Structure 1
Amino acid sequence: MTHVMACIDNSQSSLAVCDYAAWASQRLSAPLTLLHVLDKEKYPASADLSGNIGLGSREYLLEELATLDAQRAKLALEQGQHMLEKARERTVISGAVASDLKQRHGHLVESLSDLQEDIRLLVIGRVGEDSTHNAHTLGRQIEAVVRTIHRPILITSRKFKQPERVMLAFDGSPTAHRTVQMLASSPLCEGLPIHIVMVGIDSQDNQNELEKARSILISSGLKVQAEIRSGEVESVLHAYQAEHAIDLLVMGAYGHSRIRQFLVGSTTTTMLRTVTLPVLLLR
């Protein structure tokens, strides 16, 4: 569990992924690995076309189609390798040490699952090359990645902006307190002001939970501002982000309050579709 691993593809988001991965690699003093996965559904490693041609087919047609399919997969692999090389150049320019390159043929989630023992932080774009350019599009594989990969995940925005202010969405749950501990012990946000935002009733119990979180972060040397606000979680977090020019949202990947509904069930969708800043999911 030592590497920052960045998933790249042929989407515009990959530029931001490279930049955020280089930033994280430097902050964590961790080696950077760039990963490209060639989707085997689009580019099968071998083709069985026996059922794809109707009556009256000829053997040479099957062979020719198989040859064309193999050539297409080979070109896609070469293109992926070229993307990896260009991505490495970009991360080096951004200040990271020379990156390790990995290329897999298969499914993204399965590949990440196989590699996750080496992952300290996963960096992935919120949209991929198969997604539309709609502002609220969420990549089709993000939910599966979040559910499957039990590592911190940084889901990037479309463009890179070096984080200067961090907002932690806090609900007082055991998961939220573990998130606070992880944030306090990590150099990723060292030196950056942390805004803890709790959405709920301004009760004594909530104040006590918020103060516990604040004390932990302060004891680790972080500058902390903590606040309880009432309202709907999504709208409150968006409003606070705008008011304080927040650059990075931190949330626990799983919790037991209203925040949880944005990250599981119907999925990571509601918050991730509507935020314009990167989201760091911790568990």
Structure 2
Amino acid sequence: MILQNADKTLKNEGVEEFNLIHKTGFLGDFLDEFEDNSDLIVSGKQGESASAPGIGANVDQVIRSSRKPCLITPLKFQPIARILVAYDGSSSSKTILQFLGDFPSFQRLEIHLLMVVKNSSEPIVIARIREAQEWLQNAAYKPVCHVLTGEPEKAIANYITQQNISLLLMGAYGHSRIRHLAIGSTTTQILQSSSIPILLFR
């Protein structure tokens, strides 16, 4: 019934080519089978059986296991108008810039570039944000750039609300699983609290 409903929804939206696949087991067990032929994984934030706010166990497993970008979507869809790139100079952050350069259709949207640091006056911080800004400008974007101090998850969440951001792009899980279990992670906290879609990159 779920696949039949998906079939109807996709056709109503004008999508003509798609495959409906039914497997038995856990979602994460089949990632390797499909990932090599995919560019992007799209998943809802929670399953219908979820009893508390946050992200579902399947979603967490997929994000941690996947080598491809993962788009995690909330229940309610809103048109995408403003994109926020949470940038820290890491390899996953640079992958986000490359992604935006490869897909010029994003140029019609308002792009915000945000760094959250402990000390905004450090030379390396200034160098990193300028490097990212220049990269996007060379790719024909006109980014709105900001550097904020504080806790990343709080600063990013506040920025999303204040600037009415409709899509967040950020790196996925920068720390080990052990560190995550001990103190949590920025990725997890933002996923749990966010009401907008989040596109995660390795």
Interval of TM-score (by shorter of Structure 1 and Structure 2): 0.7 to 0.9
User: In the alignment, is the contact (CA less than 8 A) between 1:112 and 1:149 conserved in 2?
Assistant: yes
> Residue deviations 1:127-166, cap 9 Å, x none?
013312x3x3210122211111110100001111121110
Matches within 5 A, 1:138-177: 138-177=55-94
TM-score by length of 2: 0.87
Q: Distance in 2 between matches of 1:85 and 1:189?
A: 32
For residue 187 of structure 1, report the CA deviation from its aligned partner.
4.5
Q: Partner of 1:280: helix, strand, or coil? A: strand
Counterpart residue identity of residue 146, structure 1: I
User: In the alignment, is the contact (CA less than 8 A) between 1:113 and 1:148 conserved in 2?
Assistant: no
Match of 2:188 in 1: 269
> Residue deviations 1:97-125, cap 9 Å, x none?
34221111222101122111111111001
Matches within 5 A, 1:86-165: 86-132=5-51, 134=52, 136-165=53-82
Match of 2:106 in 1: 189
Match of 1:213 in 2: 132
Q: Distance in 2 between matches of 1:274 and 1:261?
A: 21
Are the structure 2 counterparts of residues 128 and 182 from structure 1 closer, same or farther at C-alpha, using a change threshold of 3 Å?
Answer: same
More moved, 93-102 vs 113-122:
93-102
Are the structure 2 counterparts of residues 115 and 174 from structure 1 closer, same or farther at C-alpha, using a change threshold of 3 Å?
Answer: closer
Larger RCO (CA within 8 A; separation ≥ 6): 2
Counterpart residue identity of residue 102, structure 1: I
Residue segments in structure 1 that go unaligned for 5+ positions in a row: 1-81
For residue 261 of structure 1, report the CA deviation from its aligned partner.
8.3
Q: Partner of 2:159: helix, strand, or coil? A: helix
TM-score by length of 1: 0.64
2:166 is aligned, of 239, 247, 250, to 247
Count, aligned residues: 195
Q: Distance in 2 between matches of 1:274 and 1:103?
A: 31
Counterpart residue identity of residue 180, structure 2: G
For residue 254 of structure 1, report the CA deviation from its aligned partner.
4.3
Counterpart residue identity of residue 102, structure 2: S
Q: CA RMSD in A?
A: 2.1
The runs of at least 4 consecutive aligned structure 1 residues that moved more than 6 Å come to none
Q: Partner of 1:104: helix, strand, or coil? A: coil
> Residue deviations 1:234-263, cap 9 Å, x none?
1111111111110001001244xxxx589x
Match of 2:2 in 1: 83
User: In the alignment, is the contact (CA less than 8 A) between 2:157 and 2:190 conserved in 1?
Assistant: no
Residue segments in structure 2 that go unaligned for 5+ positions in a row: none
Structure with bigger gyration radius: 1
Q: Distance in 2 between matches of 1:252 and 1:183?
A: 14
User: In the alignment, is the contact (CA less than 8 A) between 2:87 and 2:114 conserved in 1?
Assistant: yes
